[in-house]
Structure 1
Amino acid sequence: MSNNILVINSGSSSVKFSLFDMSSESESASGLAERLNTAEGEITIKSAEGKINLKLEKSDYRSTLEVIINTLTEQGLLETLPVAIGHRVVHGGEFFSDPVLINDDVLGKIKDCIPLAPLHNPAAVSGIEAMTSLYPSIPQVAVFDTAFHQTLPPEAYLYGVPYELYEELGVRRYGMHGTSHQYVASEAAKRLNLPAEHGILTAHLGNGCSCSAVVNGKSVDTTMGMTPLEGLLMGTRSGDVDPGLHQFLHAQKGWSIDEITDVLNKKSGLLGISGVSNDMRSVEQEAEKGNKRAQLALDVFHFRLARQLGGLAASLPRFDALVFTGGIGENSRETRALMLNTIKIFGIELDEALNKTNGDERGVISKGNGPTAIVVNTAEELMIARAAQALI
């Protein structure tokens, strides 16, 4: 009997997907469909058999998802239809604190959260509706980036604005990357054999970045807020800025709210400061060549990260481990070294040899008797597949 689960991550112009054989929790195939709803739509599928590149004759969501299923079947990677389909959904508001089987009510609430994630939730809705139309008999599960952070206490999630805005519009901090933070915190606790009572800081560092404070497996604070724009400096996102900046830019530049938001989301961060790239690797390379703006971008990135981690530590009753994950966290030895040398107050002593190899067999990159620094590769797609399996 088939035990395959397909995981879908629908973006505004792309669909990422992974196929898991849950009898071994192994990834059978993965891929990316890009440039959806254009004449240049294409799809790449990777498996043990190699890589396949296909031109999409029709690149709407429905047609693209049908091509994914058909191609996986033709390649012998999917003998029968998946037993379930798991969807990554960025924002679940206060509606969802756990993964859920999708029905009309759930889909309606995901749509209700579109104002909180206007760039992300519409794409998830399109993916869900397309799969429901194509394969109505396959159970579908929604896994929310925000769900893990629903354990934040009010003092951590409320803004200092009129309370009525929270009551009427849900204006509060929700946090993102919850699936990743939950996985790496749990994995670190297992690898380090931490006691039931423990405190962990997790740093998910990629093009999007966020950190969380996790106590006994539950999120108690995080850096992202109502939207993914709050918090750390990121690839193209500004992170925290003075709210008065919007009025200032409108008055001085004549920009609309939409234009200002676009600048803060797409033209800021590492890209905005360096003028080079949103990719940490490219910025590091330029800094090594003596590019001062590239070096400045790195300095701001690391300073903001250290400051946020220091603030999150205030939410921990004890501090056992700092976890690095995400594309930067898992691969940038320079970032990890700079961070641990910057936050010396944490008492974490870097083992330079282990850091160069991305850690020992457990991922540990520190030494001494202080808190442990550890690298854990995130596995968001596997977490979504597990959640889907648990609900069918």
Structure 2
Amino acid sequence: RVVHGGERFTSSVIIDSAVLDAIRAYQHLAPLHNPPNIAGIEAISRIFPHLPQVAVFDTAFHQTMPDYAYLYAVPDRLYKEYDVRRYGFHGTSHRFVTQEAAKLLNRSLNECAFVSAHLGNGCSAAAVKNGKSVDTTMGLTPLEGLMMGTRSGDIDPGFHAYMAEQLKCDVKEVTRILNHDSGLLGISGKTSDMCDLQKLADAGDMRAQLARAMFSYRLAKYVAALAVPLGRIDALIFTGGIGENDVGIRAEVLKWLNILGFKIDQKSNALHGKNNHAIITQKNSTVAMVIHTNEEFLIAQDAFALIRR
């Protein structure tokens, strides 16, 4: 798994020297992720020089987004000279669960409109139309979009300059705060773990209750926004640690999304959809599903397909 493949890679590839050079060239866009990916590739090459390796990129799935979805409203030269655009992440997970949703619904993926919500410590949602990503919540970096475990998600761009001045620090420190001290942890003041927040909220902790409420509200707003490029929603897919296991968050999100026709089935939701082909909504409702993601399986599948050619 390689986090950032920039605009060059639109699918998984067998790694050669040219591919490795390209991954290195995108280190500035993923300084916390690509360098360890490169180190792992190089180590395997030294130990097993004849063993083929495959790179599966988090960003590749989102390369089908149209320009009006991936560009920022900034001077064009920033895109052309510095690669400033929205890339999106969690592509392997979004690709896997949308494929599984189509199978479970007995429909062709090429005729489906899904919103996929990958909710873990990192969170993102994607609009997937006919098997292709047409928009997503993460952007240039994994900081944009939804509220996350320790990441703020969307914030006023003026925040950086304002807080740098107030705290007498540089922009890097402000970015560190937004990446590591914010999100569920920042609001609750205690933890980034949603399970622990549930226990605290049940015990009456108002900050934990607020953190969960903010998380649900912001996710619901983004799901509604992602309906725009789809034109309709055939299914909303919950996946990732929170998405697959947190009954309360799913219920709250679907309550907000009643405007889009979602009506929760309390029993199916409590059972994570395991009694109803992954579906947690009523028969007359827009469909919402819980699907276990399996990025490792999709990575193995891609690797096998490429190596056997």
Aligned pairs (5 A) from 1:24-63: none
Residues 231-240 or 316-325, more deviating? 316-325
**Cα shift at 1:361:** 4.9
Do structure 1's residue 122 and structure 2's residue 35 form an aligned pair? yes
Q: Aligned pair 1:381/2:296, yes or no?
A: yes
1:285 and 2:210 matched: no
Cα deviation for residue 303 of structure 1 reads: 1.0
Q: Report the counterpart of residue 116 of structure 2 in structure 1.
A: 202
Amino acid at match of 1:264: L
Q: Give the match for residue 255 of structure 2.
A: 341
1:260-275 matched pairs, under 5 angstroms: 260-275=174-189
Contact 1:233/1:269 (8 A) holds in 2: yes
* Runs of 4+, deviation exceeding 6 Å: none
Q: Give the Å deviation of 1:342.
A: 1.2
Give the structure, 1 or 2, with the largest relative contact order (CA under 8 Å, sep 6 or more). 2
Q: For residues 70-97 of structure 1, what are the alpha-carbon distances to aligned partners after superposition, in whole Å with 9 as ceiling and x for unaligned? A: xxxxxxxxxxxxxxxxxx0010000100
SS at structure 2 position matched to 1:89: coil
Q: Aligned residue for 2:102?
A: 189
CA distance, structure 1, for counterparts of residue 112 and residue 94 of structure 2: 15
TM-score (norm 2): 0.97
What is the count of residue pairs matched by the alignment?
305
Q: CA deviation at 1:358?
A: 0.7
Q: 2:82 aligns with which of 164, 169, 181?
A: 169
What is the percentage of aligned positions where both structures have the same residue?
54
Shift of residue 371, structure 1, vs aligned partner: 2.0
Whole-angstrom distance in 2 between the partners of 1:186 and 1:320: 13
1:1-392 pair list within 5 angstroms: 88-195=1-108, 196-359=110-273, 360-392=275-307
Q: TM-score, normalised by structure 1?
A: 0.77
| Cα displacement string for residues 48-89 of structure 1 (whole angstroms, at most 9, x for unaligned residues) | xxxxxxxxxxxxxxxxxxxxxxxxxxxxxxxxxxxxxxxx00
Return 5+ residue gaps in structure 1 as ranges. 1-87
Look up the equivalent residue of 2:238 and give its one-letter code.
Answer: F
Is the 8 Å Cα contact of residues 268 and 276 (structure 2) preserved in structure 1?
Answer: no
Q: Which has the larger radius of gyration?
A: 1
| 8 A contact 1:236–1:266 mirrored in 2 | yes
C-alpha contact (below 8 Å) 1:198/1:318 kept by paired residues: no
Amino acid at match of 1:326: G
* Aligned-pair CA distance for 1:344: 0.5
Once residues 242 and 371 of structure 1 are traced to their aligned partners in structure 2, the CA distance between those partners, rounded to angstroms, is 33
Q: Could you tell me how far apart the structure 2 residues matched to 1:146 and 1:369 are? A: 36
CA contact (8 A) 2:147 2:183 kept: yes
1:198: how far off? 1.9
- For 1:135, the aligned partner's letter is F
Q: State whether residues 276 and 282 of structure 1, in contact with CA within 8 Å, keep that contact through their aligned partners in structure 2.
A: no
* Superposed CA RMSD: 0.9
Instruction: For residues 22-60 of structure 1, give each alpha carbon's deviation from its aligned partner in whole angstroms, at most 9, with x where no partner exists.
Output: xxxxxxxxxxxxxxxxxxxxxxxxxxxxxxxxxxxxxxx
Secondary structure of the residue aligned to 2:229 is coil
